[in-house]
Amino acid sequence: MNLPRQRLEAKIYGRVQGVGFRVFVRDKALALGLSGYAKNKFFPQRHVEVVAEGPKPALQTLLRFLEEGPSLARVQRVDVQWGPAAGEFSGFRVG
């Protein structure tokens, strides 16, 4: 059964830059079969932006990983938006 693809857009705040967060996200996303990207953002506040597409159960699993982060990260807040997949990604990249 093919589940419809969804889109997760997340902004992760806290100590999330310089701690391997983006590579952590990429590895988890690829293991879950998701496509998209993770990149550092600096305005208006430092955070990591993640956009991922795939089946909602896999995206929900990724969201749990985003809320925890790698061992050196300290996640304070995750802002999330859900929507329909746009189909614009192939693979998962770190920006």
Sorted by where each begins, the domain ranges of the chain are 5-81
Residues noted as catalytic = 22, 40
Token pair 């550092």: residue: 40
Six-digit token pair at 39? Answer: 């990149």
Between CA 29 and CA 52 the distance in angstroms is 8
CATH number corresponding to 5-81: 3.30.70.100
- Per-residue model confidence as pLDDT tens digits over 26-35: 999 999 999 9
Mean pLDDT, the chain, as a whole number?
96
Q: Cα Rg for the chain, rounded, in angstroms?
A: 12
- Per-residue model confidence as pLDDT tens digits over 50-59: 999 999 999 9
